[in-house]
Amino acid sequence: MTVITWTDDRVEQLKKLWEAGLSASQIAAELGNVTRNAVIGKVHRLGLSGRAKSPSSTVPRPRKARPAQHMMRVSRPVSRGNTALAQAFEVELEPDPIAYDNVVPMSQRLSLLELSEATCHWPVGDPSTPEFFFCGGKALSGLPYCAHHSRIAYQPAADRRRHSPKAR
């Protein structure tokens, strides 16, 4: 292994070549018996940051003009986390004939103990009052809610953000 010593003459030659804008590889070849990394290390230790820039590098290149493209953005459903086992819920679009605007017939209303997999689990009212009940309508297959309450519960993320009041 050969130890390279930086003599004053070699350092002066390095400074001149660096200021002339030569690359570290070119300087290493010019000096001889020195690697590109050795040149970079010496330049760093000497604090030689300023370089003579070629006139072509100071002027920005003009960009190629691109034809205007009209792109239409298509919103996609946002899925977060592991979606490998996620179920895709499809909600029927026809209106529920029973529940409109939170009006649930008296005969359909259920208490917590009366709920089953076939009934809608949508809570109505304040749970701390005796008037509290669950919708009790016919639940959609695989879902805990009827068609009307499923449309409320399962909204796309974009719709939730658009309709939610901003808290300040």
The predicted structure's pLDDT at residue 84: 66
CA distance 118 to 141: 8
DSSP, residue by residue, 95-147: PPSS-BTTB--GGG-B-GGG--TTB---EES-TTSTT-EE---BPPTTSSS-H
pLDDT, one tens digit per residue, over 59-108 is 677 777 776 666 666 666 666 667 666 666 665 555 545 445 557 788 88
The pLDDT assigned to 46 comes to 92
For position 105, what pLDDT does the model report?
Answer: 81
pLDDT for position 104 = 79
Q: How many Cβ atoms sit within 10 Å of the Cβ of residue 138?
A: 14
101: left (phi over 0), alpha (psi -120 to 50) or beta: left
Which pLDDT value is given to residue 63?
A: 77
Check residue 154 and give its pLDDT: 81
Residue 92 confidence (pLDDT): 55
Taking each helix axis as running N to C, give the angle between helix 36-46 and helix 24-31, from 0 to 180 degrees, rounded to the nearest 10: 110
pLDDT at 48: 85
pLDDT of residue 85: 67
User: Which parts of the chain register pLDDT below 70?
Assistant: 1-3, 50-59, 67-81, 83-102, 159-168
